[in-house]
Amino acid sequence: MMDLPAGFRQAYEMGLVSSAQMVKFLAINARPTTSRFISRTLPQGMSRAFIGRMLADPAFLYRLLLEEAATIGSSVWWEVKNRKDRIKQEWDLALMNVLTVAACNALVVWSLAPCRSYGNTFRFDLQNTLQKLPNNIFERSYPLREFDLQKRIHSLFYKAAELCIVGLTAGAVQGSLSNFLASKKKEKLSVTIPSMSTNALGYGAFLGLYANLRYQLLCGFDQAMVNHFDVIGVALFFSTALRVLNVQLGERSRLAWLGVEVDPLVQSDDLLKAYNRPSEDGTRSSSKWFISKNAIVSGLGLLGIRQGNAESAANEETRAPKARRKRIVRKKVTASSA
């Protein structure tokens, strides 16, 4: 006990940390692991926040990596599918979209993940009040942190405002860079690019309202699965399936909120090119047919028919029809009429 860090030892003596949480802390710091490497690489404030999230949810790092892999994969698949051959000329725009989506998704998962943190004492009461709010509305209470209904409702609106500011900032930066890169393109883009203001407002509304509500419910589902199943693998299986579906739904919804769509004129040009290809093949095949026809006509000489007669007969058929002869009517004159 005397070899523990001073703050951690004092928290354990006061009964603020359980034995299970102490085991998790020692498991992170006792041997070289990925969690220990990340916690020692990050700054002090972020390191404490990361350790607090790992204490509250041992699978936090797995969920974060899963969300990032699913988000990047879904975004890259959409870019390649819709840009098609233009992906080589518009790779910078596609990369900008993928990086923005991945960063926003990581911030949402980080912000709403449950955490064991006692924080510090601030000068202003508003800061102390915000510090005592849960990260999501379904987070469980722990020593010195009792979350009632009022605090959970305040947390919902506070996280909405926080994520809205994050979305406005990310959307403004991404919109300005995308429009700057698009201005250097000579050809017409295959995907429409909204203006900077539209992109910023779209990202702000999407993260603050839609993504906040989805991930709040997802955190509640994860907690319910962990409490219901005794085996952690079963809970992680259902959580993984739901998170993958959530990422797919979020990617389609994000495009609708931002107003991003494929340019139909560019797609119509590709369709016209594909439609004109059979006509060229038809002309080639017709030319081959005329060559074989001449060969047949020339081969008529073997049957005793001269080629000149055949050509003259064919020319006579193609000539204009002759003028119609006038009919001459002769009358018979009798002797009586004379």
Terminal alpha carbon distance of the chain? 159
Which of 55-59, 107-111, 204-208, 239-243 is predicted least confidently? 55-59
How far is it, in rounded angstroms, from Cα 47 to Cα 63? 18
Residue in the structure block whose two tokens are 């009429």: 337
Predicted TM-score of the model (pTM): 0.71
Q: What is the mean pLDDT of residues 102-130?
A: 82
Average pLDDT over residues 303-323: 52
Confirm if 71 and 101 have CB atoms less than 8 A apart: yes
Q: Of the given ranges (10-19, 89-98, 154-163, 171-180), which has the lowest mean pLDDT?
A: 10-19
Q: Point out the least confidently predicted range of 49-53, 54-58, 90-94, 277-281.
A: 277-281
Structure tokens at 109: 């998962």
Helix axis angle, 149-183 to 212-228, nearest 10°: 130
User: CB–CB of 257/214 below 8 Å?
Assistant: no
Q: How far is CA 210 from CA 218, 257, 263, in A?
A: 12, 10, 26
Mean model confidence pLDDT for the chain: 78
Cα(172)–Cα(178) distance, integer angstroms: 10
Is residue 286's pLDDT more than 50?
no
Give residue 104's pLDDT: 94
Q: Measured between alpha carbons, how far is 177 from 103 in angstroms, rounded to an integer?
A: 15
User: What's phi and psi for 47, nearest 5 deg?
Assistant: -65, -40
Phi, psi of 336 (to 5 degrees): -65, -35
Chain centroid, CA 306 distance in Å: 72
Q: DSSP letter string over 25-47?
A: HHHHHHS--HHHHHHHHS-HHHH
Tell me how crowded residue 73 is: count the other CB atoms within 10 A of its CB.
14
Tens digits of per-residue pLDDT, 211-260?
Answer: 999 999 999 999 898 888 888 788 889 989 999 999 999 888 888 888 88
- Asked if the model's pLDDT at residue 134 lies above 80, the reply is yes
Residue 49 has pLDDT above 70, yes or no: yes
- The pLDDT value recorded for residue 157 is 94
Burial zone of 257 (CB within 10 Å; 0-12 exposed, 13-18 middle, 19+ buried): buried
Confidence of residue 65 (pLDDT cuts 50, 70, 90): very high
Lowest-pLDDT range of 18-22, 47-51, 315-319? 315-319
Lowest mean pLDDT among 94-98, 159-163, 290-294: 290-294
CA gap 87, 81 in Å, rounded: 9
The whole-number pLDDT of residue 288 equals 46
Higher pLDDT, 82 or 165: 165
Least confident of 135-144, 182-191, 261-270: 261-270
Residue 153 pLDDT exceeds 70: yes
What is the CB-side half-sphere exposure of residue 199 using CA atoms within 13 A?
A: 21
Instruction: Report the share of the chain in percent with pLDDT over 70.
Output: 74
Three-class SS of residue 334?
coil
Residue in this structure with the two tokens 């709010």, named with its chain if needed: 133
Q: Print the SS3 string covering 217-259.
A: HHHHHHHHHHHHCCCHHHHHHHHHHHHHHHHHHHHHHHHHHHC
Here the tokens at position 161 are 């405002």
Residue 180 phi/psi, 5-degree rounding, is -65, -45
Other C-beta atoms closer than 10 Å to the C-beta of 141 total: 11
